[in-house]
Amino acid sequence: MFRTQEVVARRQARTGFGIVLVVGALAMLVGDEGSAALIMVASWIAAFATYRVLAHRQVDVERCKPDSFLGSSLVWPTIGMLLMLPLLIHLPFAVLFGSVEGYGDWVALSYPFTATTTFVAGLLGTIRALQLADGRRPRGILSPGAIYGVSLLLGMIPFGVFILPPILIALTGAPFISLFAYQEKLVESEVGLEVTPEIPAAIARWRALVPKGA
């Protein structure tokens, strides 16, 4: 598979990965609390399986542009992981100190108190992702550290500090600092590749590194 095909396929795979996680979050929200743990585990398995399948499929790059699926491949995983990753981190502790069935109660308790945090983090993360896809470098409140800090603050207002220990909020949100930073490096590695099926991988990589006009 040529380099450009790999890039577009991976973008589609990341998009599918995120969509599956969002569907899983919705299923947990409307589903039976006793099946929350099963839905959580099944959603992550399905998401990784979707990524693997889509990442290895053939892509008709002649119908694609260099930025095809770039925005969606950043936005959907951001939203999906914001909804599901913190609760996945909670899962082993909820089971260890309670029960599998009790995990659903924990999820039901968490959603009302984390809704504002998740919404704001998702909004800022989406804006950041779209700016990256548009070739801009997000700064200020859209930096990884700023998004984390705002989310941590909102997670403790007005009653979160009494219901959910701040250390728990900080730990479950910490992985997103690396996620947001990785997205910037990911975009830098993918943009600039011309989507032409005739260019082999080695030439595509070379053309991505060499400045235009050189």
pLDDT at residue 13, rounded to an integer: 95
Q: What is the mean pLDDT of the chain?
A: 81
pLDDT at 11 over 70: yes
DSSP calls for 111-139: HHHHHHHHHHHHHHHHHHHHHHHTT----
Cβ–Cβ under 8 Å, residues 146 and 140:
yes
pLDDT digits 0-9 by tens, 147-200: 999 988 887 776 555 656 667 778 888 999 999 999 988 988 887 543 344 444
Choose the weakest-confidence range: 99-103, 126-130, 177-181, 210-214: 210-214
Task: For the chain, report the end-to-end CA distance as a whole number of angstroms.
Answer: 27
Predicted structure pTM score = 0.79
pLDDT at 74: 95
Q: What is the pLDDT of residue 159?
A: 59
Least confident of 62-66, 99-103, 115-119, 140-144: 62-66
User: pLDDT band at residue 107, thresholds of 50, 70 and 90?
Assistant: confident
Residues above pLDDT 70, as percent of the chain: 81
166-203: b (≥16 Cβ within 10 Å) or e = eebbeebbeebeebbeebbebbeebebbebeeebeeee
Residue 106 pLDDT class (50, 70, 90 cuts): confident
Rg (CA), the chain: 19
Which pLDDT band holds residue 66 (cuts at 50, 70, 90)? low
In this model, does residue 25 exceed pLDDT 90? yes
Total Cβ atoms within 10 A of residue 142: 18
